[in-house]
Amino acid sequence: FGIGISRDITGEYYSVIENINNSGAVIYAVDVPSGINVDNGKVMNICVKADYTITFGINKLGLLLYPANSFCGKIIIKNIGFLKDVIAECTLRNNTKKYLDEDIKDILPLRKADSNKGTYKKLLIIAGNDNMCGAAYLAAKAAYKLGCGLCNIFTSKSNVNTLHGLIPEAIVSFYDTASEKDDDIINKLDGIIKEHDAVIIGPGTGISDLQKKMIKKVLEYDIPKVVDADAINNISLMDKHGINFSNVIFTPHLKELSRLIDKDVKYVKENKDDAIKLFYEQYNGDNNENVILVVKDARTYISNNSECYINLTGNHGLSTGGSGDVLTGIVASLLCQGEVYYMAAVKGVYIHGTCADNYAKRSNAYSLIASDIINELEHI
């Protein structure tokens, strides 16, 4: 079966494919392993598990997505006579999904010899609930390692001493829920936001009325914002009437996105395009071009509502606590260095995955932890 398959494989055909997979032979798939839906990467009940897939003209989206990618083996693209201009025209007309495939050194922001920390901007990181400073540390360290000028962590008072010891390069501002009223904390935050060029909010903050008030205050500002983790979870519980979500990069994993659009995780995983459409219907009524959605998964989607990048870097080692906090810091650092919203998200995800791949080549993906991703930024 080729690229046109649209129904599950059963009966005699199922048995044939099962026998192929159990044969022990080296298996070559021509254009596509039989049983894979090349539009969405689904396996139609069963598919050939190939060692090599020789596909024609251009790569197919479904061959790159999971679970199908696990059955393709090594993918080889071959020309069988399609004209280059025809392929380009078809790709442009029919495919809004793109893939970044460049050397990282070619996509890093250009730096000026005549510069100072102000050149690369001030980043405010609102992160860390009581005695929960790890996410704040990882986001700040990643932002610094990729070249942000200055990081200020706004966090619970209980985290201050630990953060000073972990990352002395950062400024640490704090609030104290034991002695300060919510309104006083929000007024303090308002004054701090005005001194910064970009904001991260959400890593390790927990869910509370205070955090919801912080989110509303941050969203009042037009500066670049990366909304992650518990900020996303708080937003899913908030009355969103009258809230402006412009100039925001959202970075949810599948569960967090399911909460934002009120769908179950299975729906989001199997219908990412529809889930992205629902997100934009609910969170971008003004059709602001700087509302970006990063759907974190084995193949991360980055959308600006008109086109979508699918990231092909990364490995299972990224399935570890703190990995998302590192990504948030990387993306925000790119914003601070002048990258436009969409490409800050695209390049950030690509860099994050490449760091994981480089680490796995030298060591192994099993041992990868979040701080290893940050350390890899030294070698890109």
Q: Which amino acid is at 301?
A: Y
Phi, psi angles (nearest 5°) of residue 156: -65, 145
Q: Which residue has the higher pLDDT, 60 or 183?
A: 183
Q: Cβ-count burial of 306 within 10 angstroms (0-12 exposed, 13-18 middle, 19+ buried)?
A: exposed
Whether the predicted pLDDT of 178 surpasses 60: yes
Count of CB atoms situated within 10 Å of the CB of 154: 26
Q: Compute the distance between CA of residue 375 and CA of residue 330 in angstroms, rounded to an integer.
A: 12
Q: What is the mean pLDDT of residues 78-94?
A: 78
Rg, Å, the chain Cα set:
23
Q: What is the mean pLDDT of residues 139-144?
A: 98
**Which of 135, 132, 167, 166 lies closest to 151 in space, CA to CA?**
167
Contact 130, 156 (CB under 8 A): yes
Whether the predicted pLDDT of 95 surpasses 70: no
Q: What's the pLDDT at 84?
A: 84
Q: Compute the distance between CA of residue 194 and CA of residue 191 in angstroms, rounded to an integer.
A: 6
Residues 275-295 pLDDT 10s: 999 999 999 978 889 999 999
**Which of 86, 99, 80, 94 lies closest to 31 in space, CA to CA?**
80
Question: What CA dihedral angle connects 177, 132, 318 and 274, to 10 degrees?
Answer: -20
Q: What's the pLDDT at 209?
A: 98
DSSP 8-state code for residue 109? P
Q: What's the pLDDT at 92?
A: 59
Q: Compute the distance between CA of residue 238 and CA of residue 254 in angstroms, rounded to an integer.
A: 19
Percent of the chain with pLDDT over 70: 98
Residue 302's SS3 state is: strand
Q: What is the mean pLDDT of residues 75-97?
A: 79
Q: What is the mean pLDDT of residues 348-371?
A: 97
DSSP alpha helices (H): ranges in 10-145? 11-21, 61-64, 84-94, 104-107, 134-145
Q: Compute the distance between CA of residue 194 and CA of residue 272 in angstroms, rounded to an integer.
A: 36
CB contact set of 188 (below 8 Å; sequence gap of 6+): 173, 175, 180
Is residue 301 within a helix (H) or strand (E), and if so which, with residue range?
strand 301-303
Measured between alpha carbons, how far is residue 114 from residues 117, 118, 173, 278 in Å?
A: 11, 11, 30, 45
Q: What is the mean pLDDT of residues 329-354?
A: 97
Q: Compute the distance between CA of residue 230 and CA of residue 205 in angstroms, rounded to an integer.
A: 6
Q: What is the mean pLDDT of residues 9-36?
A: 98
DSSP 8-state code for residue 82? -
Phi, psi angles (nearest 5°) of residue 215: -60, -45
CB contact set of 202 (below 8 Å; sequence gap of 6+): 126, 127, 227, 228, 229, 230, 231, 232, 234, 328
Q: Compute the distance between CA of residue 377 and CA of residue 380 in angstroms, rounded to an integer.
A: 6
pLDDT band at 32 (very low <50, low <70, confident <90, very high): very high
For residue 22, the Cα-to-chain-centroid distance in whole angstroms is 37
Residues 101-124 pLDDT 10s: 888 888 999 999 999 999 999 999
pLDDT band at 91 (very low <50, low <70, confident <90, very high): low
Q: What's the pLDDT at 342?
A: 97
Measured between alpha carbons, how far is residue 355 from residues 164, 360, 373, 379, 380 in Å?
A: 26, 9, 6, 9, 8
Q: What is the mean pLDDT of residues 195-200?
A: 98
Whether the predicted pLDDT of 143 surpasses 60: yes
Whether the predicted pLDDT of 306 surpasses 70: yes
Whether the predicted pLDDT of 169 surpasses 90: yes
Q: Compute the distance between CA of residue 135 and CA of residue 64 in angstroms, rounded to an integer.
A: 31
